[in-house]
Structure 1
Amino acid sequence: MRSAYEAETVRAAERELMARLPEGTLMGRAAAGLAAAAAELLTRVYGARVVLLVGSGDNGGDALYAGARLARRGAGVTAVLLAPERAHPGGLTALRRAGGRVVRGPGGGAAEIARADLVLDGITGIGGRGGLRPEAAGLARAARESGAVLLAVDLPSGVDADTGEVPGEAFRADATVTFGTYKPGLLVDPGREHAGAVRLVEIGLDLPEAPAVQALQYADVRALLPAPSAESDKYRRGVVGVVAGSARYPGAAVLAVAGALHGGAGAVRYVGPAAEAVLARFPETLVSAGPPARAGRVQSWVVGPGIGENAEAVAEILAADVPVLVDADGLRHAEAAAVRARTAPTVLTPHAGEAAALLGTGRAEVESARLASVRALADRFGATALLKGSTTLVAGPAGGPVRVNPTGTPWLATAGSGDVLSGLAGSLLAAGLDGLDAASVGAYLHGLAGRFAADGAPAHAFQVAEALGAAWRDVRGE
């Protein structure tokens, strides 16, 4: 499990550790890891031109000490001081003794950046709030236009460490070296997009058990994947009920059923007007004209994809005493009071536009504050909320860490992809996973299947469903 902690938690752990160590030890550890990462990004260190963008405080100190290490290995290192009077004195002394140069203020910085092979962003770090100030923003733009490799120290400057929000201009790095632990802003868009490849340098922090954000890894997903035993039958594996599709959108039903069947369901019961289309593709589906209560026994329901104005079906499904996943059109008919009254797990899977409607806000607000939005959804509805997007986030109804999904590809932004995810997560609910795990594992497999289906080229939703088996085998190491 990859865990991320908020800035104040990290600072408290750093203070506790520094009180037990000789002065400068912690910064020395960070600078050593930063310099090693910079050296790997450079074709060669000797003769390389390195520019340090140095703000006030410890973040600038890390950059200066790392620059000193690179200078001792033969790099030409220049520090551009954005706040000369507040630059880290020990770091400045170390850089000068190693032969590094210092430029005061942003005036000469652009010329230095234009000749650089690597630019190190040590402007603000995890304590920064708001976008970059104009002079720093100008240097960040110059760095992006220079063609140099861009490396951020701990966190790209201008990104909110706790939320990933980017309220103004920010440094856009090719890579980020972060210290002690991941920060939420490195894992959640739009911050994640600014961070590039992230490397964690351990510095010995003692952190609490409950982080702010978690990202499942292969081993975590493997441990959660349901597997049939010798005594399993289709009911023990899980039967998923799917209420999806309409005369206008029969494909939504086909794709939701595809997600459920490829996602491990023992059987799928389909209720809706697209039975003919579903049976043509999946003759093993058990179809019913409805209502859902007469379809037969299920271990979970998926309701919403392509159903249009069928509010009655949503109300009936929410009254059922089994796990329920609500997606797409179903979200418009899911009353918060009805969801909160449920005792069985409920999962809501909106994209940003649907989440905005559920929260009574604008889509831009949801997309710029994704972490706050998914928490607000889970709290308002008392349900697991899966917020789809460039980084899919999952928040549980009881609070706790938000899970961010690390898999996926931009090619998943295609019609019907969400319907496949609904069926897949519904099958995991039917297999016995709770709402948080079913949504998290479903998002992980769905993202992995998207990568396999696309393989660098466009892919459509049905190909994603067909690639779920490969994703499953990959996670299990088979």
Structure 2
Amino acid sequence: MGTGTWREWTADDASEWLSAPGADDDKYRRGVLGVITGSADFPGAAVLGVEAAHRTGVGMVRFTGPRAVRQAVLAARPETVAVAGRVQAWLLGSGMDSSNRSFMLAGELQHALASGLPAVLDAGGLDLVGTHVGPTVITPHSRELARLLNDRDVECTPEEVEADPTGWAERTAHRLRVAVLLKGAVTHVCDPEGTALTVTAATHWLASAGTGDVLGGIIGALAATHHDRLAEEAGAITRLAATAAFIHSEAARRASEAWAGGPVTALDIAQAVPPVVGGLIRR
């Protein structure tokens, strides 16, 4: 089904989207990421995404997700701001159940989407795609993508997505008019304009709970840091998402190597992000 020309996103590509702060930068120039993620059942998703965003180098993380989750987020990352205010990009949906939203939470998510700011829609936020006019990337795995398409009268199974990830990623991007990051051993990132990029996992220890939440935090941080660029070039979010996938993969490899090639947790990966970012900047 796939028709585009796909290419592997490299360290050289990723390094072009990263820079160290300068003398004139402050937290707002570095970007403020608004985060509405997690739930009483899955508070860890919020903790992991916020941790990863901080580690990627964003200026500020503003968490306004469920009140029950805020205590866990602040305990892990006390520099997080837990009141509403100015943001420059959004991370929405990780660790949430789209079929079990309170009226207040639904209103907060819609308010965020109505801002027109760059948005990363993950997990329990995927159903909101199409209600947002700003630069948007969705981050499903094969089961989530199949469910999203079936809900929009496109019949497919997770097995069909796994058998033809390029085709289904392209089809979804064109149908929903957003950038798509389809997670897998090879992550496929594409958009309606024809950008088509792959990131091959540097270690398969990435296949564990919570790693997708870390990836969402990295993408959100990069989107916030590049908010000025995205205001002029919405399509840049595709390359930022690929850069985040590359950082995520390399952080997992680095974390595993610290344990002699052994297994790693999602938090290990988040904590390995800064040296990966630093190394790419030095390139």
TM-score by length of 1: 0.52
Q: CA RMSD in A?
A: 1.7
Q: Aligned pair 1:370/2:160, yes or no? A: no
Q: Deviations over 1:292-333 (max 9, x none)?
A: xxx1011100000112233444323221221010001111x3
Aligned counterpart, 1:173? none
Instruction: Tell me by how many angstroms 1:250 deviates.
Output: 1.0
Q: Deviations over 1:238-296 (max 9, x none)?
A: 000000111111111100101110111100000122111111111100003xxxxxx10
Aligned counterpart, 1:410? 204
CA contact (8 A) 1:396 1:435 kept: no
Aligned counterpart, 1:254? 47
User: 1:354 corresponds to which letter in structure 2?
Assistant: E
Aligned counterpart, 1:379? 174
Instruction: Tell me by how many angstroms 1:335 deviates.
Output: 4.5
Aligned counterpart, 1:269? 62
The secondary structure found in structure 1 opposite 2:186 is: coil
CA contact (8 A) 1:257 1:423 kept: yes
- The higher relative CO (CA closer than 8 Å, separation ≥ 6) is in 2
Instruction: Tell me by how many angstroms 1:388 deviates.
Output: 0.3
The secondary structure found in structure 2 opposite 1:405 is: strand
Instruction: Tell me by how many angstroms 1:394 deviates.
Output: 0.4
1:355 to 145, 160, 163: 145
Structure 2 CA distance for aligned equivalents of residues 241 and 408 of structure 1: 29
Structure 2 CA distance for aligned equivalents of residues 397 and 353 of structure 1: 21
The secondary structure found in structure 1 opposite 2:245 is: helix
User: 1:282 corresponds to which letter in structure 2?
Assistant: R
Q: After TM superposition, list the pairs within 5 Å mapping 1:25-40 onto structure 2.
A: none
Instruction: Tell me by how many angstroms 1:364 deviates.
Output: 0.3
Percent identity of the aligned residues?
39
2:262 to 431, 453, 457: 457
CA contact (8 A) 1:408 1:446 kept: no
1:426 to 214, 220, 241: 220
Equivalenced residue count is 259
Aligned counterpart, 1:304? 93
Aligned counterpart, 1:58? none
CA contact (8 A) 2:185 2:201 kept: no
Aligned counterpart, 1:51? none
Cα 1:440–1:335 change in 2 (3 A) is closer
Q: Which has the larger radius of gyration?
A: 1
Greater helix fraction, Structure 1 or Structure 2: 2
Q: Deviations over 1:375-397 (max 9, x none)?
A: 01111111110000010010013
Instruction: Tell me by how many angstroms 1:226 deviates.
Output: 3.3
Instruction: Tell me by how many angstroms 1:407 deviates.
Output: 4.1
User: 2:17 corresponds to which letter in structure 1?
Assistant: L
Give the unaligned 5+ runs of structure 2: 151-155, 231-235
CA contact (8 A) 1:385 1:395 kept: yes
Q: Deviations over 1:343-402 (max 9, x none)?
A: x2001000110011112210000000100011011111111100000100100132x241
